[in-house]
Amino acid sequence: MTNTTESNPGERIADFTLPEGCMLCGGAVSIRSTPSGGAHSYCAHCHWLSRTRLRMRKDGLEIAYAAQGFA
């Protein structure tokens, strides 16, 4: 389900949920996309937060998560 709101004229915010979209636990991931801030995702089950990259493709939406490591 996608909800789209406009807080300022011309600025659209889209909220949607991907069932079983969490890369860590397989839980539902909530994603918020804004024109100025990009996209952020959150899993309520394991509490994973991520900066998400969204790209529109001809056949649908591509969602990518940045891989980071700590040494």
pLDDT band at 2 (very low <50, low <70, confident <90, very high): low
Give the pLDDT of residue 31: 92
pLDDT tops 90 at residue 69: no
Q: What is the pLDDT of residues 5-52, one digit of tens each?
A: 545 556 688 899 999 988 899 999 999 988 877 889 999 999 998 888
Give the pLDDT of residue 71: 55
Max CA separation in the chain (angstroms) = 44
| Amino acid at residue number 44 | A
Residue 54 contacts residue 41 (beta carbons within 8 Å)? no
Sign of the dihedral through C-alpha 68, 34, 46, 61: negative
Give the pLDDT of residue 8: 54
CA 57 to chain centroid = 16
